[in-house]
A = this chain, B = another copy of it.
Amino acid sequence: MSEPVKIVMDAMGGDFAPAEPVKAAVAAVREKDNIQVILTGKRELIEQELSKYEYPGEKIQIVHTSEVIETAEPPVMAIRKKKDSSIVVGMQMVRQGEADAFVSSGSSGAILVGGQVIVGRIKGVERPPLAPLLPTKKGVSLLIDCGANVDARSSHLVQFAKMGSIYMENVVGIQNPRVAIVNNGAEEEKGNALVKETFPLLKECRGINFIGSIEARDIPDGYADVIVCEAFVGNVILKLYEGVGSTLISQIKQGLMTNLRSKIGALLVKPALKETLKTFDASEHGGAPLLGLRGLVVKTHGSAVAVEQKNAIFQCLQFKEQQINEKIQEHINDI
């Protein structure tokens, strides 16, 4: 049998740590053979959680860390100061080749900064993008970039298109993924300065299936598989997607409780509604990968529960087995 893929899970990250990350690790090693999970965090707390489950003991390892980076901490300072935190120690293991990937529901800022300064970029990658999956009518689309570094250059966006295509094809399994750039209109003459500069570069770029501009309205329809934009716009899209969705759903739920008639109806529609809303949920695909690093870093939601975190572990497995980083390195400078 080949060497198992080693994945570090931040046991202290997210709203439900350490319970959910530990549960995710147990579920992952029970379900798949070729995984080894390393939990970073406070040993005592982790052991307490682990004691609730049965699992093949040799497949989960604990690396004790004494510090925790809180969500509200300024990320650069946190990464620099808290050398013995679950995030810094976990990322150091990836950097030193002791692990293949790192998964965390912790501070986004710290994960983004740590990915760049601890794990480090693949040679040739100018900027590592954070690329969450958005649920759509037809499945999922990769939104690339939603990271912390805004005001990107056109060369960054071209690299995002390439990395996003490799990811969607090999990890999500979409043949010849359609790449589109976020624009304020469908016509070629539309766009801000950055989009106008990037559009012809994407058009000429070989090895990607560029289909032109995408208006924000068409994103939920699943019109493109890889949606390229700079991080400020990506952040707006990601957060508004979540915001409009959750507001509308809460409004609808409230509306269903207005009178007896609608309350009875609500009981009847509940299972079907739940099923529908589940299809509009990307957590079965894991978390958002930070691409272009020498190793994989995956950010799961702060509110993630074990299912999402377990799927993030499988996402890392797929990433490693499909040799995504080798493919990125090979193609990042193709013209």
Contacts and interface: CB of A to CB of B under 8 A. Distances in A.
A180 to B, nearest CB: 13
A215 B136 CA distance: 22
Contacts of A284: none
B259 A265 contact: no
Contact of A137 (B238, B247, B266, B270): B247
Nearest to A259: B272
Interface string A40-55: 0000000000000000
Contacts of A1: none
Contacts of A269: 256, 262, 265-266, 269
A153 to B, nearest CB: 13
Contacts of A243: 216-221
Interface residues of A, number: 59
Interface stretch (A61-69, A229-237, A295-303): A229-237
Which has the most chain B C-beta neighbours within 10 Å: A185, A240, A273?
Answer: A240
A280 interface: yes
A158 to B, nearest CB: 19
A114 B108 CA distance: 45
Interface in A246-291: 247-249, 251-252, 254-256, 258-259, 261-262, 264-273, 275-277, 279-280
Contacts of A238: 216
Nearest to A278: B255
A195 B150 CA distance: 11
Given A137-B251, A150-B184, 18 more contacts: A151-B192, A184-B235, A216-B236, A216-B243, A217-B240, A220-B243, A237-B240, A251-B276, A251-B280, A252-B252, A255-B276, A258-B272, A259-B272, A261-B272, A262-B268, A265-B266, A265-B270, A265-B272
Interface of A: 136-137, 150-151, 182, 184-185, 191-193, 195, 215-221, 231-233, 235-245, 247-249, 251-252, 254-256, 258-259, 261-262, 264-273, 275-277, 279-280
10 contacts: A137-B247, A185-B235, A217-B240, A221-B247, A236-B237, A244-B244, A248-B249, A259-B272, A261-B272, A264-B265
